[in-house]
Every structure is written in structure tokens, then in C-alpha cells.
């Protein structure tokens, strides 16, 4: 019920902003001013994937438009958890009850860049998609820059579909895969094909990751298996005043309480499915470890993943846990990149480790990892969180990582190189939209190579591009 209230509230605010624009409200960009852009995303919860996506979007925008020409703002839910992130971008607090914030904050800027990966879907939280549509819709209502950058689209509830169709038609929507284009195309929303923006992320060097693993008990030589679990079954998060009242008075719904008015999905069926997933993950890793020596490490890419990591570690008889509440994104990705194998239900754990050639298998709850594995040509390394005999299939997949390691690395390298080109093309689309929206903005001139549309690239990525230059030319 509360989701419907939020959706109606945001829809009403977008309509109000259309009227206010007609009446002359809002802040228009003028030549000589810095272009103020609000980067709307799910930051401040130590979700490593969400944070590093935004980090790279900001770096790319600065590269394309010039740092002297832009003033960037980033939403955060907790300043302490994003301290040291996002360069010189101004961080603004995103409240849990966000419609009034959107109404006031978007108009302070000359445009919105929606940064959340899972942007148009009901899988995680209708409130999150409502916020993304609201930010884009209010910007469009004021005839400002309105760009969805690297968006994923999946199944949406009917009202969200209607909101997306009505309020995102004037936005530049760049998806991170063809499948998302198909979803949005059915809603009449025009798109361009892009990719995720995490491909250019540069963590701390490998020496940091190796030291962190040694501090966690690694002997320096045993192959390291990174395991990145989640709770796939307690989504979506929904707002509920009724549950909040019960929780406040009696302590009910304690296990499913997220924060303020939001609660995870809960119930005996959720608990049973989660326990089965954890047991199968642990059993698959245990069986794999019987045939070869391996050092398993549990990695919580988001603070919410700590419970899954602790429970699998216990089932394994003990294993170190690397969690985002203790390690920042530069540290976690450094650790991932020095691992030797990966089993992950986290999309960005796979993406951020691929430039280092870490062979990975995925256990997926939705289309994100599925789409990525298909890009790589690795359907045989993909499993579903609730499929029968998951443990046995994990053993088979991890065995394939060993047997096919070189071929897998080569395919991953080609995939990274292709996605770097797609990310550069996103930058071209972005620059063209800025020039069209604000013709007097000082965009770059002359002939530019495609790499000029990317953030500065690390030596690791430059070497990878050199190795796959033939595939790129083809």
C-alpha cells in the first residue's frame, strides 16, 4: 500500500513540476556557469557495486565535459559510509522518505544523471525505481538534462510501468544490455545501448589485496576462492506503516526490518529457501575443496551480505570474511582481483574482478549475472539460486573454472574490451545530449579517439586492450 502512496506522490510531484516550469520556476543553465548535475543513485549503504558505478560515472563526466565546467552532486544515505568517495563531488543527504527531497533538489541543478544499475525493476524495491523515475521525470518537466546511465530493466509492477512510459520518454536512457532495451521498448521508451560503468574502476594495487588475505590467514600460495553470497529471497523491500507500528510497539518483524518504514520480504518460505541456498553454496564449496587444496574467502559486497557470509563460513567450519562495513570499495576490489577463482551471486564482484582475469561462476537471482555470462559465452558457468542440486552444479562449474581457465580468461578479456568500447559510446551519447540540450555549453571539438570518452585507464586495462585489439577491430 505504501509503495502505491510513494508512486502516486512522485507522479503528482512530476505533474506539479510541469506546471511550475510553465510558470517560470526552476534554475536554467546560463553560459559561463558550471553545469550542475545531480547524480541520483543508491549510495551510502556500502553497496560496493553501486558506489563504484557512480565513482566511474563521475570520472567519465569530468573527462568528457571538463572538471572546470561541471559541478557534480551525489546522493548519499550516510555521509560516514561514503567519506572519501566520489572525488570533489558535493554529497547531499537522501532521506528515506524522498519525494520532498526530489522536488527541492532536482530544481537546484541543471540536470539529473540516474546512476543506479537496477534502475527499472520491481525485484529489489519499487521505492528505488520510483525514486529513479522521479528524478528523471522532474528534470524532464523542467526541460533539463535527464539521462539514465547504464540502466538495467526487468519486470515492473503495472503502476511503475505506467510511470516509466509517461515520465521517461523525454530522457536519454542508455541501458547496459540488449535485454533491457527490449523491456523498455515494450513500454515505448527509446533507448541507446551501453554497458555498466564499473569496467574502468581502479582499486588499490595487488599488494594491498595480498596483504589483506595474508592478514586473514592465507599462506600466500594456496589458491584463493572468493565466495560472494547474498540473501536472494528477502527482496523486494517494501514500505509498510502497519509493520512499522507493530515493530515499534511489540518488536514484531525484527528479522525483516530494514530501516525507517521499509521491510524485507519475510516468512517461513523465505527462511527455508534462504537456508537451502546457503547450505547448497557451502556444500558445493566443501565438495570442490575435497579434490584440491583451496582457501575460501567469504566476501560481503554489501553490508546486508554479512549474514550470508557468516552462515556459510560457519557451515564450512570457519573461513575469513571480507565485508564492506570494514573495507572500502578500493580495498575490496583489490582483494577480489588477487583471488584465483570466484563463485558469486553479486554482479559487480564478477565485473570488477574480470579485468584481472579471475575466472568466475555465477549463482544468480535475476537477469544481471545471466546477461553478463551470456555476453562472455559462459552459460555453463551460470546457475540459479533456487535450482535443484545447486551444490552439485557448483562443483561442476568450479571444476570448469580450473579446466578451462585460460579460455575463460581470454573470453573475459574480450568481454571487458568490448564493454570499454560500449562505455566510450555512452560517453559520446552523453556529450551529444549535453550539446543538444545546452548548445552554448563548451563541448570539445576536433577529432577524438574513442578512448577520449573514457575515464583515465589503468595499466591493467591498457594492456588488456592491446591484447584484444584484433577483436576490437573486427
pLDDT tens, residue by residue, 319-331: 999 999 999 999 9
Domain-terminating residue out of 153, 173, 200 = 200
Please answer whether residues 321 and 203 qualify as being in contact, where contact means their C-beta atoms are separated by less than 8 angstroms: no
28/450: higher pLDDT: 450
Check whether residue 217 and residue 193 sit in a common domain. no
Within-domain flag for 426: no
Domain-terminating residue out of 403, 421, 444 = 403
Q: Residue 261: pLDDT above 90?
A: no
Q: Is 410 left (phi over 0), alpha (psi -120 to 50) or beta?
A: alpha
Position 216 scores a pLDDT of: 97
Our count of domains for the chain comes to 2
Within-domain flag for 52: yes
Residue 37 burial (CB < 10 Å; 0-12/13-18/19+)? buried
Position 380 scores a pLDDT of: 97
pLDDT tens, residue by residue, 144-163: 999 999 999 999 999 999 99
Q: What sign results for the dihedral spanned by CA atoms 37, 16, 151, 329? A: positive
Boundaries of domain holding 216: 206-403
pTM (2 d.p.): 0.94
Check whether residue 195 and residue 229 sit in a common domain. no
pLDDT tens, residue by residue, 332-367: 999 999 999 999 999 999 999 999 999 999 999 988
DSSP string of 48-67? HHHHHHHHHHHHHHHHHH-G
CATH at residue 277: 3.40.50.2000
Position 472 scores a pLDDT of: 65
> Quick one: angle between helices 405-437 and 367-376, nearest 10?
110
Position 121 scores a pLDDT of: 93
Q: How high is the mean pLDDT of the chain?
A: 94
Within-domain flag for 437: no
Within-domain flag for 351: yes
Amino acid at each position: 500500500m505504501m509503495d502505491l502512496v510513494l508512486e502516486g506522490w512522485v507522479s503528482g510531484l512530476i505533474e506539479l513540476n510541469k506546471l511550475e516550469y510553465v510558470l517560470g520556476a526552476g534554475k536554467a543553465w546560463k553560459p559561463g556557469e558550471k553545469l550542475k548535475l545531480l547524480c541520483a543513485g543508491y549510495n551510502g549503504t556500502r553497496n560496493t557495486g553501486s558506489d563504484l558505478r557512480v565513482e566511474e560515472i563521475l570520472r567519465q563526466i569530468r573527462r568528457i565535459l571538463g572538471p572546470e565546467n561541471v559541478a557534480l552532486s551525489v546522493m548519499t544515505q550516510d555521509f560516514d559510509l561514503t567519506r572519501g568517495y566520489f572525488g570533489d563531488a558535493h554529497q547531499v543527504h537522501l532521506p528515506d522518505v524522498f519525494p520532498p527531497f526530489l522536488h527541492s533538489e532536482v530544481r537546484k541543478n541543471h540536470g539529473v544523471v540516474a546512476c543506479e544499475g537496477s534502475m527499472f525493476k520491481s525485484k529489489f524495491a519499487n521505492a528505488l525505481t520510483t525514486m529513479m523515475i522521479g528524478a528523471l521525470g522532474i528534470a524532464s518537466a523542467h526541460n533539463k538534462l535527464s539521462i539514465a546511465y547504464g540502466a538495467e530493466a526487468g519486470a515492473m509492477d503495472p503502476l511503475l510501468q505506467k510511470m516509466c512510459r509517461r515520465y521517461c520518454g523525454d530522457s536519454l536512457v542508455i541501458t547496459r544490455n540488449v535485454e533491457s532495451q527490449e523491456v523498455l521498448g515494450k513500454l515505448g521508451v527509446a533507448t541507446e545501448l551501453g554497458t555498466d560503468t564499473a569496467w574502468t574502476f581502479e582499486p588499490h594495487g595487488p599488494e594491498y589485496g595480498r596483504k589483506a588475505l595474508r592478514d586473514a590467514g592465507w599462506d600466500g600460495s594456496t589458491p584463493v576462492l572468493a565466495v560472494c553470497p547474498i540473501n536472494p529471497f528477502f527482496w523486494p523491500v517494501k514500505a509498510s506503516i502497519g509493520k512499522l507500528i507493530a515493530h515499534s510497539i511489540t518488536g514484531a518483524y525484527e528479522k525483516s526490518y530494514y530501516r525507517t518504514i521499509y521491510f524485507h520480504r519475510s516468512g517461513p518460505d523465505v527462511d527455508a529457501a534462504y537456508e537451502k541456498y546457503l547450505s547448497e553454496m557451502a556444500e558445493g564449496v566443501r565438495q570442490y575443496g575435497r579434490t584440491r587444496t583451496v582457501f575460501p574467502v567469504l566476501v560481503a559486497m554489501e553490508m546486508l551480505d554479512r549474514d550470508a557470509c557468516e552462515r556459510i563460513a560457519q557451515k564450512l567450519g570457519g573461513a575469513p570474511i571480507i565485508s564492506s562495513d570494514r573495507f572500502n570499495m578500493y580495498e575490496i576490489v583489490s582483494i577480489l582481483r588477487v583471488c584465483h577463482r570466484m563463485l558469486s551471486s553479486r554482479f559487480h564482484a564478477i565485473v570488477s574482478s574480470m579485468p584481472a582475469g579471475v575466472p568466475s561462476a555465477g549463482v544468480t537471482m535475476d537477469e544481471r549475472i545471466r546477461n553478463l555470462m551470456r555476453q562472455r559465452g559462459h552459460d555453463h558457468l551460470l546457475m540459479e539460486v533456487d535450482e535443484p542440486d545447486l551444490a552439485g552444479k557448483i562443483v561442476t562449474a568450479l571444476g570448469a573454472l580450473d579446466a578451462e581457465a585460460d579460455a575463460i580468461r581470454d573470453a573475459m578479456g574480450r568481454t571487458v574490451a568490448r564493454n570499454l568500447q560500449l562505455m566510450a559510446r555512452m560517453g559520446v551519447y552523453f556529450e551529444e545530449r549535453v550539446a543538444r540540450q545546452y548548445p552554448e555549453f563548451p563541448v570539445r571539438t576536433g577529432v577524438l579517439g574513442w578512448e577520449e570518452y573514457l575515464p583515465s585507464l589503468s595499466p591493467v586495462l591498457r594492456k588488456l586492450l592491446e591484447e584484444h585489439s584484433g577483436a576490437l577491430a573486427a
